Structure 1
Amino acid sequence: MNTITTRTAQPTQDGAGVKIRRINDANGQLDPFLMVDELKSNVKDDYIGGFPPHPHRGFETLTYLLHGGLRHRDSEGHQGGVGSGGAQWMRAGRGVVHSEMPTTDSNGLHGFQVWINLPARLKMSDPTYRDLQGEDIPEMSFAGGSARLIADQWVFNGETGQGALDTLGDGAGMADLRIDAGATVQVVLPAGYRLQAYIYEGQVRTADGQSHGDGTLVLLPQTGDTVALDAVEAAGLLLLAGRPLGEPIAYGGPFVMNTPAEIQQAIRDYQSGRMGTL
C-alpha cells in the first residue's frame, strides 16, 4: 500500500440488536486487523440487549470504552467487567464462547470493538482473557495532544510510552489519541508497521492534504517511519498499528481461519460443544 486510502463506517446491528457502525474486510486491506466497530448511543434500547453467548476462533478481540460499562463471561471460566476508560482483551485462539453485556447502570455507551487476526501458528492457542480498568491504562501528554496507551509501544512528538498490554496479536498496538485544534502530532512507527486511524471526533488532515472526519478509518502507507496527523479541529482518534501478517484469510461469521476447510471444522467443533458452553 503506497497511497493513503479511507474506509467509511457503515451502520448495522449485531448481538441482540445493538446498533453499531462497522468497518470490516476479508481481503487483507486492514491486515493485521479484521474489523473495527464503533458502539455509540445514549438511547438504552440501542445497546442494552448486548452480545449474548456466541463463539469465536482464530483471532483476538479488544473492546475499549470511552463511556459506559460492559461485563464479560466465557466458557473458560473467565469473568470481568470494565467501565468508562477501560478495556477487555480476549484471545479466542482454538475456540471460546463468550458474552459481553452492558451494565444496567450505564447511562449511554460509547466504545469500540476491534478484531485482531492471529497468524496460523497461533490460531489454535489457548483462550485467554484480561480486563483493564481505566486507571490501568497509561496516559501521556505531549506538545499538541495526549494519548491513552492500550497496547504496545508508541512515540508521539518525540515522547515514548508503553501500553497496558505488551502487544496485540503477533505484534500490533492500539492507542486513543487526542489532538488539540490546529496541532500536529508526529507518530513514529516501527519498521514494517502500518498505521490506521479511526476518527471518532473532529477532523484530521493527512499528508496528502485531504481532511477526514467522524466515522472514517484512514489507512496510511506502510513506511515504518513517521506519520504526521494535523487536527483541523480538536480530534479524537483510535490508532491501530501493526505489521501485516500476509496470510490467507477465511471468514466464517464468528470464526477467522486460513482456509474454508478450517472454517468448516470450527463450525463442527462449536456445534459438538468442543468450544464449551456458557
Structure 2
Amino acid sequence: MVASPNFRRIEGLIQSHPSQDGDGVHIQRIHRFDGELDPFLMLDELGSDRPDDYIGGFPPHPHRGMQTLTYILHGGITHEDHLGHSSTIQAGDAQWMHTGRGIVHSEMPLTDSQGLHGFQLWLNLPARDKMSEPRYRDVRSDEMPRLELQQAVLIALGGSWSSVAGERICGPLEHLAGEGAIAHALIEAGGELMLEAGSETLAVYVFEGNLQIAGESVAAGQLARLGSGDTLALASREGAQCLLLAGTPHREPIAHYGPFVMNHTHEIEQALRDYRNGSFTG
C-alpha cells in the first residue's frame, strides 16, 4: 500500500507592508528578526514602473553577520563594494553576498521597458560564520536549472528541489546560510506543482496571482509559513508566481540593528565602533 502524502499546510500568513529604504526606494517588506522564519530574516520586493520610486537606489552602506540574495525579474541592479567587485545583474540574474565580518557596498537600480521588479532576501549567518571572510557571486539566468512540468516551471536559484515524480534539480548557489534553498515557481492557470519538501523551515511568498497551498488560498503580497510534512502542493486557478524558501533553523539568539545582524547586543555595539573608527573593513 502506498502511503498518502503528508502535505505541508499553512501555519501562518504574513502580509508584506509598504516601506522605504536607501535613498527613498519604495518596497514591500516582510521582516522577522524574531526567528519565526529562521534562517530567513527579511524579504523585500521592489516593483514599480515609476522611476521616482526607486531611482535613488541604495548608496554605500555596511553589512555584517548575514547574507543577501538579490533576484531580478525586470530591470537590473549594479553592485559595487569595497573589495573591488563591480557588476550588473539583469532580468533572470541573481547576486549573492556573504557579508561575514564586514562589507560596504552600493546597489543602484536600472530600468527596462517594464520598470524594475526584483527581490532581496536576508539570511542569518550562524555564530561561527559571522566574522568570516566576506564573499560575493553573480549568478546568470542560464546557470539556473529549470524543472519544467506540464503546467508549471520551477527555477532553482540555490539548494536542491525534487518533484514527487523524482525529478531533481540543484541551484548554483551552494553556500546559502542554514542549508538554504530558494526557487522561483511559475504556475499556469489550472496548473499545479507537487514537490518533495522535507526542510524544517518552508515558506512561500506569492507575488503574482492567487495560489492554493494544500487547498488554502494565498494572495499576492502574502507569505505563507508552512507546518511540518513532506510534500508541498501548489495550485492556481488563474495563474500565479511565487518564491519558495526552505532551510534549517540556527536556533541562536538574534541581535539586529540596521544593516548588522549578530547574536548579542555587545557584538552590535562592536560593529558600530568598528564602522565609526575605520576598522570595519580592515
State the 1:182 CA deviation.
Answer: 2.0
Cα separation, partners in 2 of 1:153 and 1:107, compared to 1, 3 Å: same
The aligned counterpart of 1:21 is: 28
Q: Give 1:118-137 correspondences, 5 Å limit.
A: 118-137=125-144
Task: Return the alpha-carbon distance in structure 1 between the equivalents of residues 119 and 25 of structure 2.
Answer: 13
Per-residue CA deviation, residues 40-82 of structure 1 (Å, 9 max, x unaligned), is 0000111111111001000000000011111111112222111
Matched, 1:81 2:53: no
Which residue identity does 1:165 align to in structure 2? L
RMSD between aligned residues: 1.8
Task: Return the alpha-carbon distance in structure 1 between the equivalents of residues 109 and 49 of structure 2.
Answer: 13
Task: Return the alpha-carbon distance in structure 2 between the equivalents of residues 157 and 236 of structure 1.
Answer: 20
In structure 1, which of residues 259, 272, 275 is the aligned counterpart of residue 264 of structure 2?
259
Cα separation, partners in 2 of 1:167 and 1:233, compared to 1, 3 Å: farther
For the residue of structure 1 that corresponds to 2:178, the secondary structure is coil
Task: Return the alpha-carbon distance in structure 1 between the equivalents of residues 43 and 109 of structure 2.
Answer: 19
The aligned counterpart of 1:244 is: 249
For the residue of structure 1 that corresponds to 2:266, the secondary structure is helix
Query: For the Cα contact (< 8 Å) 1:142–1:157, is it kept in 2?
Result: no
Task: Return the alpha-carbon distance in structure 2 between the equivalents of residues 176 and 156 of structure 1.
Answer: 14
Query: For the Cα contact (< 8 Å) 2:75–2:111, is it kept in 1?
Result: no
State the 1:107 CA deviation.
Answer: 5.1
In structure 2, which of residues 216, 237, 242 is the aligned counterpart of residue 210 of structure 1?
216
Cα separation, partners in 2 of 1:2 and 1:248, compared to 1, 3 Å: farther
The aligned counterpart of 2:3 is: none
Task: Return the alpha-carbon distance in structure 2 between the equivalents of residues 186 and 74 of structure 1.
Answer: 40
The aligned counterpart of 2:4 is: none
The aligned counterpart of 1:232 is: 237
Task: Return the alpha-carbon distance in structure 2 between the equivalents of residues 83 and 127 of structure 1.
Answer: 23
In structure 1, which of residues 248, 262, 269 is the aligned counterpart of residue 274 of structure 2?
269
Comparing 12-21 with 101-110, which one deviates more in the overlay?
101-110
Query: Structure 2 unaligned runs (5+)?
Result: 1-7
For the residue of structure 2 that corresponds to 1:275, the secondary structure is coil
For the residue of structure 2 that corresponds to 1:200, the secondary structure is strand
The aligned counterpart of 1:187 is: 195
For the residue of structure 2 that corresponds to 1:45, the secondary structure is helix
Query: For the Cα contact (< 8 Å) 2:51–2:111, is it kept in 1?
Result: no
Task: Return the alpha-carbon distance in structure 2 between the equivalents of residues 275 and 194 of structure 1.
Answer: 32
The aligned counterpart of 2:225 is: 219
Cα separation, partners in 2 of 1:3 and 1:213, compared to 1, 3 Å: closer
State the 1:105 CA deviation.
Answer: 6.0
Which residue identity does 2:192 align to in structure 1? T
Task: Return the alpha-carbon distance in structure 2 between the equivalents of residues 193 and 161 of structure 1.
Answer: 19
In structure 1, which of residues 52, 59, 77 is the aligned counterpart of residue 59 of structure 2?
52
TM-score by length of 1: 0.94
State the 1:189 CA deviation.
Answer: 2.0
State the 1:104 CA deviation.
Answer: 6.0
Cα separation, partners in 2 of 1:3 and 1:216, compared to 1, 3 Å: closer
Cα separation, partners in 2 of 1:107 and 1:227, compared to 1, 3 Å: closer
State the 1:30 CA deviation.
Answer: 1.1
Per-residue CA deviation, residues 22-50 of structure 1 (Å, 9 max, x unaligned), is 00012111111000000000001111111
The percent of aligned pairs where both chains have the same amino acid is 48
The aligned counterpart of 1:177 is: 185
State the 1:106 CA deviation.
Answer: 6.9
4+ runs deviating over 4 angstroms: 104-107
Q: Give 1:76-155 correspondences, 5 Å limit.
A: 76-103=83-110, 108-155=115-162
Query: For the Cα contact (< 8 Å) 2:74–2:111, is it kept in 1?
Result: no
Which residue identity does 2:191 align to in structure 1? A
State the 1:143 CA deviation.
Answer: 3.2
Which residue identity does 2:275 align to in structure 1? Y
